[in-house]
Structure 1
């Protein structure tokens, strides 16, 4: 075989390998399941957190689709009531972001924990991986409530072996330039910062999923 023929054969083999690798790759289907912080309260769809995160992930070369299943006003109890039909078959992973409305309403941390735990168990029973996004209780709820509520995400992560992002609103809280006029929800700039801060944990999560 001449040098030229050998080079042609090697090129053909490399092309075939790349083709097979591409054919074997698949898009990972993620559902962002949460409340108004996920839904994108008062924001255009492309500025909601799931859209921001998907755009960032794709810019990094990750083949992923993120469906927005956020419902404004949802508590953990509301999430539990719709978790089964809101997460379609074929979902690889869920970003579970609930609890903010429980804290704002002063609902029992024990009940919130129980609801989140039930959702995690149900998803794992369906072979769906979970990334838990935590939230912090308002300081005016008192130290005891704050300790119980804020600690439940880490507790659930350790008990069920799921990754936890400690504070979903990191970079937005107390930063008026990142919030809507209500002082609670992120604006478009806020969701961009949230996605950027969330991305390293999300990337690690994606790499843990069966390909």
Structure 2
């Protein structure tokens, strides 16, 4: 999985024409497209939707099923290759499902954000909500992580990645946790304006890039 992910992201970047905006969707199974055909995964459907709206863009799939924020941190430098123009950061769901200490999740997200910021990469943070069984205290603290991160680093925030599909049986696989193809369509439709804001930030940057 890891080597295939690297090849996919690197191939997507190298295949892009000069002037093409190169985005990386960096996340867990919700990004990877758990149990879906590759063309039905979030990055592929997002790329198609953006192209339909006239954007010259490729969206690399750097999602790994089961990843926590700490696992994402461990692979962030090579999962987001040189030549990337912007990142969609979608991590945290597995932290909440496992009840990982909030400080651990916060620290990993902060380090990932600092790595992206050091490279001058515009970022869209896809927020997550803790499941109800984690309790109100945990949920309140966890749910605030993503807005806090976006505010500290001037990232764009999409408050809840699963908005519109959470707890909707017809939009999820039988496990009730992962979107089916129709669920991915809903995610793409709702997040699209935020991704277009990310693209606008990329296009507003000076021609010289800090990311090699």
1:173 to 166, 171, 184: 166
Give a deviation string over 1:122-152, Cα, whole Å, max 9, x none: 0111121111111100011011100000001
| Alignment partner, residue 57 of structure 1 | 50
Deviation at 1:111, TM superposition (A): 1.2
Within the alignment, does 1:125 sit opposite 2:128 as a pair?
no
TM-score by length of 1: 0.87
| Alignment partner, residue 151 of structure 1 | 144
Q: 5+ unaligned residues in a row in structure 2: which ranges? A: 1-17, 208-212
Q: Considering only aligned residues, what root-mean-square deviation do their CA atoms show, in Å?
A: 1.0
Give a deviation string over 1:55-92, Cα, whole Å, max 9, x none: 00000001110000000000000000000111110100
Tell me how far apart the structure 1 counterparts of residues 167 and 81 of structure 2 sit (CA, whole Å): 36
1:39 to 20, 32, 42: 32
| Alignment partner, residue 81 of structure 2 | 88
Give a deviation string over 1:141-195, Cα, whole Å, max 9, x none: 0111000000010111111111110000011101101000000000000001100
TM-score by length of 2: 0.87
| Alignment partner, residue 183 of structure 1 | 176
Structure 1 residue ranges (4+ consecutive) displaced by more than 4 angstroms after TM superposition: none
Within the alignment, does 1:199 sit opposite 2:192 as a pair?
yes
Tell me how far apart the structure 1 counterparts of residues 130 and 147 of structure 2 sit (CA, whole Å): 14
Tell me how far apart the structure 2 counterparts of residues 125 and 82 of structure 1 sit (CA, whole Å): 16
Q: 5+ unaligned residues in a row in structure 1: which ranges? A: 1-24
Deviation at 1:35, TM superposition (A): 0.2
